[in-house]
Chain A
Amino acid sequence: MSEPDLIAVRLTDIGKRFPGVIANDQVNVTVRRGTVHAVVGENGAGKSTLMKILYGVQKPDSGTIEVDGQEMSFHSPSDAIAAGIGMVFQHFMLADNLTVLENVVLGAEKLYGSGDRARTRIRELSSAYGFDVDPDRLVEDLGVGDRQRVEILKVLYRGARTIILDEPTAVLVPQEVDELFENLRGLKAEGLTVLFISHKLDEVLAVADDVTVIRRGRTVTTVDPKHTTARQLAELMVGSELPSPSTETSTVTDVVQLSVRDLSLTDPLGGRDLLTDVSFDIHRGEVLGIAGVEGNGQAELVEAIMGMRKATGTVALGDVDISAWSTARRREAGVGYIPEDRHRHGLLLDAPLWENRMLGHQTQEPNRTGPFVDRRGARNDTDRIVAAYDVRTPSIDTTARALSGGNQQKLIVGREMSGNPVLLIAAHPTRGVDVGAQAAIWDHIKTARREGLAVLLISADLDELIGLSDSIQVMLRGRLVGSVDPQTVTPEQLGSAMTGAGVPA
């Protein structure tokens, strides 16, 4: 349908500074028409800024944008849309209480109106690319994968020929990722160009025709994924050799730090029980990994141990039964918690870092003096965390929202490690975090483990789970269905155990 060597988009010497940060500096990307082009880099490397520049959300300080050989200057997204460029943001831009149709036609009512002609057009597009989305459903009722398809439909409806996807897989489960990639191949087959931002390298290699690597605001190189491995890509991204998650020697002691017995939790909505008779021990210096497909009770298990949900059964920390304790009391007793969704549970996004440092530790040193908040103590300690955990931020008065995901996570890890915890509950500690920060977080967990910390690790990243854990329990439909030895198990075996296909001995 189109010549593969025609250039759809060429970005030359793009530069963009924000107060205190250089987001882009001489970035060069050339995207061939009819290809899937991936832009990879660590969190905060400047990928998103670059794409916002291309979509007209932000104006570059320097450099040029060419679309189909013509130099362009975008003042707003409307200009970019007019030039045939559309963008799907990482956080969906959808109005939940409107229908798919309404979300799609909004702002583009001139094209096909907002009635039956628009409905027909959406059906056409939807079936042409195999999206299977009903235009009259409320977006609220759709799952994440469908919402993403609505976002892509919005872009296609406006006649975009080049589609930017900002970290599209971050919110998807593996099966949905496969479906998305199928959709992307369909788009490519129709001659559309896809710009794909990610830091998940396996996915990039699976779907992209070209890969451009960005590090600290600069383009490093563009490589052919057919001749590149994930490890090479990662090293290009970080700029150095990579660490791996594997722990060295066992540090497991025989002192039980956390003992969970017969923990059960019924579904308040009346569904299947969320947890059934979960029992396990974690010793000092041990990392216990919980493997399971998401939604099988891991989140509920964590919340039950933290005291955020009322469950039956006993939870003992050391020799003390803490089943009846409040969450605050459990935290004060030395339970550190890295929540799975840092935006919902871990941070106050609009509060400065030093206030976030106190969060959950507001009753402890160095955050209080008597009944008052110890501002100076908290601020000094935040400075320490920022330095020790390499949180890249202009200052500790910056709001948490302004930090990239990896830096937010490092702040949380730093905070939770600061109270001298005896037990750390880490739910997806490196989710949505780039490889550099990931390695740092692994190091911190390993160090603490060596010093006798007990860790409960939940992760969807099987390499991480196998590499860090001293033992792994498999969770299925709210039950622990078996254990595997991380020394011998492969990710494939673990994956099949998680789906209930049988636990290898």
Chain B
Amino acid sequence: MSSTVEGALEKAATTVRKVRPTWPVVLLALAGVILLLALLRVITGADDVASSGTVRAAIRAALPIGLAGLGGLWAERSGVVNIGLEGMMIMGTFGAGWAGYQWGMWAGVAFALLFGALAGGVHAIATVGFGVDHIVSGVAINVIALGAAQYLAGLAFTGHPGGGPTQSPQVTPMSTFDVPGVADAAHSIAEKNWFFVSDLAGIVNGLTSRLTVLTLIGVLLFVLTWWVLWRTTFGLRVRSVGESPAAAESLGVSVYRYKYIAVIISGALAGLAGAYLVQDSTVYREGQTGGRGYIGLAAMIFGNWRPGGLAAGSGLFGYTDALRLRSGGESVHALLLLLAVLLVVFGLALFRKNRRQALVSAGAAVLLVVLFLVTDEIAGDFTGMTPYLTTLLVLALFSQRLRMPKADGQVYRKGSAG
């Protein structure tokens, strides 16, 4: 039996064509996406689909989700499911608000990291130290963090100018800067309205102007996470305890230690995501996280537990969210067409492998085109759903073979090796 299963797996592995994300492939894909957007702009006249403002808004929307997801990635790579990201993020927003209004945003960031890490530490003690079910502990942390933040905010902010039980006094945000040379040049090209070139320039401008150091750090953390987890011995050990803790222990790796470290880092990253929200709105507010911790977790899962996939997922979410915020109805309406094209491409790619799925996506594409033609704008009630719906749809279609860390979510007890 097992030999036939293995044979089948081997067969499946060889038939699935693997496209390695090398630089040429990534750049080509990016160029393709920009070309599509440029075409879309010309065809539909929705100017905001590739404007620098949209890109900036996209980053603002994407980064908190991405950072929370990155926190989830650290925890789950070490084998601990972290549904408590939301709570850790709440702790981060409180820490950033509390320290931020008194000593400035950088202190806010430091305390957000600290508070997030503390919440992460609690999760680690519960799940790793005491073997509590990961979901139970994570949900408990979400509930406790919400209550704790409300209570502490009442104590800390009431009576201060601009502060109250649900809101902190103003936090002075970090100053922004433009990348010298690049941002201005891109801006002037973007003004020219040249097909493709101006679209590209608009995106470049959005990526290089009015940045904060925090944004840069956030983006660099993705690269750093990839490098640490996949290129260092420390990362190998973290991943090994998430894949096969028994094997790791039999080789003298301290399973508990690496799980503790990873979950605490996870909390700190979620805290940082909270700090980013505070920096963005210059204030701590109750309910500020708005479920971003969960969305981050979902983006991480659809991103196949990899930083690149997570970045793509949260970027997509941020982009559609930005479209919705800027010229909602019109841009989202234009997006319908893009989605239809993507579905057709996907359907063609799948046609030989899975006919039914291909037909379903073709049918959905036709439906979208019809919708695009008979309407001029999407009603405001529906645009709010766009980011969720698009991200869900695209990621669900493109992430067909998810592979989570093998021992993810399982409680490991020391001495189980052998």
Binding site for B on A (CB under 8 A): 52, 55, 57, 76-78, 81, 89, 93-98, 102-103, 105-109, 113-114, 140-141, 143-144, 154, 173, 267, 269, 271, 274, 294-295, 299-300, 303, 340-341, 344
Q: A105-B233, A295-B3 are in contact. List 9 more A-B contacts (CB 8 A).
A: A77-B251, A96-B243, A97-B406, A98-B236, A102-B236, A107-B252, A114-B236, A271-B11, A274-B4
Can you list 24 A-B pairs with a CB-CB distance of less than 8 A? A57-B250, A57-B418, A93-B246, A93-B251, A93-B417, A95-B239, A95-B243, A95-B247, A95-B248, A95-B406, A98-B239, A98-B240, A102-B236, A102-B240, A105-B236, A106-B236, A106-B248, A108-B251, A114-B232, A154-B251, A269-B11, A295-B3, A299-B1, A341-B2
Does B243 lie within 8 Å of A78, measured CB to CB? no
Residues of A within 8 A of B381 (CB): none
Query: Is the pair A106, B418 in contact by a Cβ cutoff of 8 Å?
Result: no
Contact residues on B (Cβ < 8 Å of other chain), bracket: 20 to 34
- By the criterion CB–CB under 8 Å, are B13 and A141 in contact? yes
B373 beta carbon closer than 8 Å to chain A: no
Taking a contact as CB atoms under 8 Å apart, the answer to whether B8 and A269 are in contact is yes
List the 8 closest A-B pairs by CB distance, nearest first. A107-B251, A95-B243, A109-B233, A95-B244, A93-B247, A299-B1, A78-B252, A57-B418
Cα-based distance from A344 to B6 in the complex (angstroms): 15
Report the minimal beta-carbon distance from B236 to chain A, rounded to whole angstroms. Answer: 6
The residue among B6, B232, B250 with the most chain A CB atoms within 10 A of its own CB is B250
B7 in the interface (beta carbon within 8 A): yes
Question: Which B1-42 residues have C-beta < 8 A from chain A?
Answer: 1-4, 6-13
Residue from A81, A97, A103, A141 in contact with B403 in the complex, judged by beta carbons closer than 8 Å: A97
CB neighbours (8 Å) of B253 from chain A are 106-107
Secondary structure class of chain A's binding surface, majority of residues: loop
Closest A residue, CB atoms, query B239: A98
* Chain A CB within 8 A of B237 CB: yes
In the bound assembly, the distance between CA atoms of A295 and B6 in angstroms comes to 11
Contact of A96 with B244 in the complex, beta carbons under 8 Å: yes
Contact call B240/A76, Cβ cutoff below 8 A:
no
CA distance A146 to B161 in the complex (A): 69
Task: Give Cα A341–Cα B11 distance, bound, in whole angstroms.
Answer: 23
B250 touches A93 (CB 8 A): yes
Q: How far is the CA of A89 from the CA of B8 in the complex (A)?
A: 26
Structural contact, B405 and A109, CB atoms closer than 8 A: no
Question: Which chain A residue has the least Cβ–Cβ distance from B232?
Answer: A114
Task: Say whether A113 contacts B233, CB under 8 Å.
Answer: yes
Asked, given contacts A89-B418, A173-B3, whether A269 binds B236 with beta carbons under 8 Å apart, the answer is no
Contact status A97-B252, CB under 8 Å: no
Nearest B residue to A303, CB-CB: B1
B403 to chain A, nearest CB (A): 7
Given contacts A52-B418, A271-B11, whether A109 and B244 have CB atoms under 8 Å apart is no
CB distance from A9 to the nearest CB of B (A): 18
**Bound: A108/B233 CA distance, A:** 9
Q: Which single member of B2, B12, B237, B247 contacts A269 (CB below 8 Å)?
A: B12
Minimum CB distance partner of A110 in chain B? B233
A57 touches B417 (CB 8 A): yes
Choose among A81, A94, A269 the residue that contacts B244 (Cβ–Cβ < 8 A): A94
Instruction: List chain B residues, Cβ under 8 A from A344.
Output: 1
Which residues from A are CB-within-8-Å of B10?
A: 141
**A108 CA to B244 CA in the complex, in Å?**
16
* Pairwise interchain contact B251-A76, C-beta atoms closer than 8 A: no
Separation of A195 and B87 alpha carbons in the complex (Å): 52
Taken together as a complex, chains A and B put the C-alpha atoms of A294 and B1 apart, in Å, by 8
A336 to chain B, nearest CB (A): 19
Residue in chain A with minimal CB distance to B237: A106
- Complexed CA–CA distance, A93 and B253 (Å): 13
CA distance A143 to B418 in the complex (A): 21
A95-B240 in contact given A52-B418, A106-B251, A114-B233 (Cβ < 8 Å): yes
The interface residues of chain B lying within 8 Å CB-to-CB of A140 are 9
Chain A residues lying within 8 Å of B3, measured Cβ to Cβ, are 173, 294-295
B13: nearest residue on chain A (CB-CB)?
A141
Q: Indicate if the CB atoms of B1 and A341 lie closer than 8 Å.
A: yes
Please judge, given known A-B contacts A95-B244, A269-B11, whether A295 and B406 are in contact too, CB under 8 Å: no
The CA of A294 and the CA of B7, in the complex, are separated in Å by: 12
Report B-chain residues with C-beta under 8 Å of the C-beta of A143: 6
With a cutoff of 8 Å between Cβ atoms, the chain A residues found around residue B13 in the complex are: 141
- Closest B residue to A293 by beta carbon equals B3
Contacts of B11 in A (CB 8 A): 269, 271
For the complex, what is the distance from the CA of A113 to the CA of B251, rounded to whole Å? 15
Q: Which residues on A sit within 8 Å (CB–CB) of B247?
A: 93-95, 103, 106
**Minimal beta-carbon separation of B313 from chain A (angstroms):** 20
Tell me the complex Cα distance, A97–B6, Å: 15
Are B4 and A77 interface neighbours, CB within 8 A? no
Within 8 A of A (CB), among B396-418: 403, 405-406, 417-418
Minimum CB–CB distance for B333 against chain A, Å: 42
Tell me the residues in window 30-66 of chain B with beta carbons closer than 8 Å to chain A beta carbons: none
Chain B residues with CB under 8 A of A57: 250, 417-418
In angstroms, Cα B251 to Cα A303, docked, is 38
Chain A residues, Cβ within 8 Å of B233: 105, 109, 113-114
**Separation of A269 and B417 alpha carbons in the complex (Å):** 35
Closest to A101 in B: B236
Point out the residues of chain A lying under 8 angstroms from B250, CB to CB.
Answer: 57, 77, 89, 93
Which residue, of B8, B12, B405, has the highest number of chain A Cβ atoms within 10 A? B8
Query: Complex formed: what's the CA distance from A341 to B4 in Å?
Result: 13
CB distance from B397 to the nearest CB of A (A): 23
For the complex formed, measure the closest distance between the CB of B71 and the CB atoms of chain A, giving whole angstroms. Answer: 21
B214-271 CB contacts (< 8 Å) to partner A? 232-233, 236-237, 239-240, 243-244, 246-248, 250-253
A76 and B252: CB pair below 8 A?
yes
Kindly report which residue of chain A lies nearest to residue B6, judged by CB atoms: A143
User: What's the Cα separation between A17 and B172 when bound, in Å?
Assistant: 67
Residue of A nearest to B3 (CB): A295
CB distance from B406 to the nearest CB of A (A): 6
Taken together as a complex, chains A and B put the C-alpha atoms of A143 and B7 apart, in Å, by 9
Residues of A within 8 A of B403 (CB): 97
Provide the residues of chain B in CB contact with A295, threshold 8 Å. Answer: 3-4, 7
Which residues of A are found within 8 Å of B243, using beta-carbon distances?
Answer: 95-98
A267 to B12, CA, bound (A): 13
For A81, the closest partner residue in chain B by CB is B252
Q: Which of B66-91 contact A (CB under 8 A)?
A: none
